[in-house]
Amino acid sequence: MRNIYGMTLDELEEYFLSIGEKKFKAIQIFEWLYQKKINNFDEITNIKKSVIDRLKIDFSLERLKTLKVERDVEVNKYLFELPDSERVESVLMRHDYGISLCISSQVGCNMGCAFCESGRLKKVRNLDASEMVLQILQVEEDINERISHVVIMGIGEPFDNYDNFVKFIKIVNNPKGISLGSRHITVSTCGIIPKIKEFSNLPFQVNLAISLHAANNELRNKLMPINKAYPLKDLISEIKKYIAKTNRRVTFEYIMLEGINDKEEDAIELCNLLKGINCYINLIPYNETNNFGYKRSKKSTILKFYDIIKSRGLNVTIRREFGSNISAACGQLRSKKEDL
């Protein structure tokens, strides 16, 4: 039995045709799922009973189990349990421009970044599209407000789960589905080049963020093993192609790690690498965890780093901090729970 929240509109149309029904029923189902937000197929009033009975056989409406919610003024952190008892996290953040939700794309992660809690616990499995969609739907229900922005920056590497990621985009972007504009969705990748190429061919204007964290191969190889497979030169050249093709600005994320990548020469090297590329650089104060020795750069170091980049004419921002009090940093709630 498939979870119906993982079905795109096209797939549902095919399904209805395959059972000898008109395909417009797919739109009706989307409206019941995402606008009227039913909990039970029997709530559907405009589809005949025999079809409803068939839906009950073929699809489940199973939700994620909310194991824990930590609430603060501007941030909520959710720990969800999946049907097979695995766990993932989502983080809601209130900004002046709206409410964003950071969702997970895998249980664990195989990318093995040296500083990242999510990768300390290896990938158990991919999330299917329904498990990504339900993170949004259930958080919206919890707060009884609309989420305006979604970032796929939680646990997992979305481009290592590419097909489900694309299905997810189709479902949430559909005006009859969650109806989230693609420009309000951002996907973050550690730099899996073949998937960046595929992504540039997608007919959706989803924003792309690249976790860079180092501006030379020697350091990036140490921090992010993926760099050995897809080194900086190739990555940057693929991103230039992506920008040429889509005309979209890319964000480069750069975690500030004390004594590792936060020196003046690192900033200059970063500017040289990204010079002339239509991009933003987002400096991220590192969220320390007990499991690695890395330290967050001092505030003054981050500001100095910022000034160097700014003075060279590149677009740079420092990520506002949310929720370090409530372990909102990537993967920490899940791994804490696992240590209990």
Q: Supply the residues annotated as catalytic.
A: 89, 330
Task: Take residue 154 and report the two structure tokens written for it.
Answer: 């939680």
Q: Which stretch binds ligand SAH (CB under 6 A): 51-59, 82-90, 109-117, 269-277?
A: 109-117
Q: Are 264 and 225 in contact (CB under 8 A)?
A: no
Nearer to ligand SAH by Cβ, of 44 and 116: the residue is 116
Task: Take residue 221 and report the two structure tokens written for it.
Answer: 């190889």
- Taking CB under 6 A as the criterion, the residue among 7, 153, 172, 267 binding ligand SAH is 153
What's the min distance (Å) between Cβ of 232 and ligand SAH? 15
Task: Using DSSP bridges, classify how beta strands 87-95 and 98-102 pair: parallel, antiparallel or unpaired.
Answer: antiparallel
What's the min distance (Å) between Cβ of 190 and ligand SAH? 4
Q: Which stretch binds ligand SAH (CB under 6 A): 16-24, 36-44, 72-80, 107-115?
A: 107-115
Q: Which residue has the tokens 């997810």?
A: 168
Should residue 190 be labelled a site residue for ligand SAH when binding is judged by CB under 6 A?
yes
φ/ψ region of 116 (left if φ > 0, alpha if ψ in -120 to 50, else beta) reads beta
Instruction: Identify the DSSP state of 296.
Output: B
Nearer to ligand SAH by Cβ, of 314 and 330: the residue is 330
φ/ψ region of 98 (left if φ > 0, alpha if ψ in -120 to 50, else beta) reads left
What's the min distance (Å) between Cβ of 153 and ligand SAH? 4
CB atoms within 10 A of CB 242: 19
Q: Which stretch binds ligand SAH (CB under 6 A): 93-101, 113-121, 165-173, 300-308?
A: 113-121
Q: Which stretch binds ligand SAH (CB under 6 A): 20-28, 63-71, 188-196, 307-315?
A: 188-196
d(CA 329, CA 323): 7
Should residue 235 be labelled a site residue for ligand SAH when binding is judged by CB under 6 A?
no
Long-range contacts of 179-186 (CB under 8 A, 24+ apart): 179/34, 180/136, 180/147, 180/148, 180/149, 180/150, 182/206, 183/207, 184/148, 184/149, 184/150, 185/149, 185/150, 185/151, 185/152, 186/149, 186/150, 186/151, 186/152, 186/153, 186/251
What's the min distance (Å) between Cβ of 245 and ligand SAH? 21
Nearer to ligand SAH by Cβ, of 134 and 330: the residue is 330
Would you give the binding string for ligand SAH spanning residues 258-287, x where CB under 6 A is met? --------------------------x-xx
d(CA 135, CA 333): 15
Nearer to ligand SAH by Cβ, of 156 and 177: the residue is 156
What's the min distance (Å) between Cβ of 65 and ligand SAH? 23
Q: Which stretch binds ligand SAH (CB under 6 A): 9-17, 67-75, 80-88, 182-190?
A: 182-190
- Taking CB under 6 A as the criterion, the residue among 9, 29, 101, 116 binding ligand SAH is 116
Should residue 189 be labelled a site residue for ligand SAH when binding is judged by CB under 6 A?
yes
Should residue 208 be labelled a site residue for ligand SAH when binding is judged by CB under 6 A?
no
- Taking CB under 6 A as the criterion, the residue among 76, 126, 207, 211 binding ligand SAH is 211
What's the min distance (Å) between Cβ of 235 and ligand SAH? 12
List, as one string, the DSSP characters of 215-260. SSHHHHHHH-THHHHS-HHHHHHHHHHHHHHH---EEEEEEEBTTT
d(CA 147, CA 132): 14
Angle between helices 129-143 and 162-173 in degrees, nearest 10: 40
Nearer to ligand SAH by Cβ, of 29 and 103: the residue is 103
- Taking CB under 6 A as the criterion, the residue among 88, 260, 330, 333 binding ligand SAH is 330
List, as one string, the DSSP characters of 37-58. --SSGGG--SS-HHHHHHHHHH
Residues at the site binding ligand SAH, with contacts judged by CB under 6 A: 111, 113, 115-117, 153, 157, 188-190, 211, 253, 255, 284, 286-287, 289, 329-330
